Structure 1
Amino acid sequence: MKVTKYKNLYQLTWAPMLFPINCYLWENDDDIIVIDMGVKSFVSEIKKIAERLNKPISALLLTHAHADHVNGVPLFHKIFPNVPIEISERDFKLLDFTFKNSKYNNFCIIESPGHTPGSVSFFEKESKILIAGDAFQTRGALLFQEH
């Protein structure tokens, strides 16, 4: 597993050269927000990072309901049962498991239909970082532009 850090953002990538699957951790002053949960092995890495930073996980946000973005959700929910999990209402209907849905996060939610009808992107205003799920492909790399 490849771990890349840029400012407050950690990107976890599984199989970066074959079929990259990404998970993101956004570090706030007091907590961590996770975005996308593709594979089960992300859960142990998230737990290690949270313990190292000594910060709780406060939310899991999902860009869309495809398997490479949600396969790890049942294990995540088992390990972090009180963490709210958010996904668009439209893509929520595509999932075959249930969880507590909440509306807590510090990201602007941008509707980004196309990849799935309910795809969303998450934009953090202060840092101007956009996490767009599969709306953009970078083969496991971070794509950023400094101004």
Structure 2
Amino acid sequence: MKWTQLPLGPLQTNAYVIQNEQKEAIIVDPGGNGTQLVNWLQQQELRPLAILLTHAHFDHIGAVDDVRQAFSCPAYLHEEEAKWLGDSTLNGSSRFMGDDAIIIKEADHLIRAEEPLTIGSFAFTLYETPGHSPGSVSYYLKDQSIIFSGDVLFQQSIGRTDLPGGNHEQLLQSIHSKLLDLPEDTVVACGHGSPTTIGQEMDQNPFLSGF
């Protein structure tokens, strides 16, 4: 199993494509450039089984419908943000993109609890990690020692909390109680920027000291 980081959309948000030897794939946060992403997936001869959304801010969802239409695969999102995909005010696109506001179809599956999620050969552990947004979810692949954290934790930084539903104390609590309990060699596949590890952030992240 391997994964590929693809910066997409207006803010170059990291989409992640996780694939197995059978060319089946999971797409995490397809943020934009839908035609480009679909073409790349087809060129790689991949068959997406699902789209996993860490949260529903506009820069993480822009290519969801393109991928769904091309590959007939479902999208997963936490129930706290069930209405955000179809509401440009909630997903922030009306504020930041004006006439290019994003309105897409509702999620096919709503996440309601922390529980195992198995799709084909892909076995994830779900962590509810609110704070950046109320429905932020992190997807952990234990066997591959990687967690897809969206905009919760970055290399030497953390997610912003000044958007609707953001809560700084809640974000820090999510990071400390969920992410920092993972093994230190766990790769953190962030929503923006370069991947990091849990150990690096425990040692170097200035936002996590003194909590």
Q: Classify the TM-score, shorter chain.
A: 0.7 to 0.9
Structure number with greater CO (CA < 8 Å, separation at least 6) is 1
Tell me, yes or no, if structure 1 residue 8 matches structure 2 residue 16: no
Tell me, yes or no, if structure 1 residue 20 matches structure 2 residue 27: no
Give the structure 2 partner of residue 32 of structure 1.
25
Partner SS state of residue 34, structure 1 = strand
Alignment of 1:1-147 (within 5 A): 8-14=2-8, 19-30=11-22, 31-39=24-32, 41=33, 43-80=34-71, 82-96=72-86, 97-101=105-109, 104-105=118-119, 106-138=123-155, 139-144=192-197
- The structure whose residues are more often helix, as a share, is 2
How far apart, in 1, do the equivalents of 2:70 and 2:118 lie?
19
The alpha carbon displacement at 1:120 in A equals 0.2
How far apart, in 2, do the equivalents of 1:121 and 1:91 lie?
14
Q: How big is each residue's C-alpha offset from its partner over 1:37-68, in whole Å with a ceiling of 9 and x where there is no partner? A: 111x1x34443443344331111000001001
Using structure 2 for the length normalisation, give the TM-score: 0.56
Partner SS state of residue 47, structure 1 = helix
Contact kept? 2:28, 2:54, Cα under 8 Å = yes
Q: Taking every aligned residue pair, what percent have the same amino acid on both sides?
A: 28
Structure 2: tracts of 5 or more residues without a match: 87-104, 111-116, 156-191, 200-211
Q: How big is each residue's C-alpha offset from its partner over 1:6-46, in whole Å with a ceiling of 9 and x where there is no partner? A: x711000137xx9431100011222110000111x1x3444
Using structure 1 for the length normalisation, give the TM-score: 0.78
Larger-gyration structure (1/2): 2
Partner SS state of residue 87, structure 1 = strand
How far apart, in 1, do the equivalents of 2:12 and 2:42 lie?
25
Distance 1:73 1:53, change over 3 A: closer
The alpha carbon displacement at 1:104 in A equals 4.8
The amino acid across from 1:35 in the alignment is V
How far apart, in 2, do the equivalents of 1:19 and 1:47 lie?
19
Partner SS state of residue 126, structure 1 = helix
Distance 1:114 1:50, change over 3 A: same
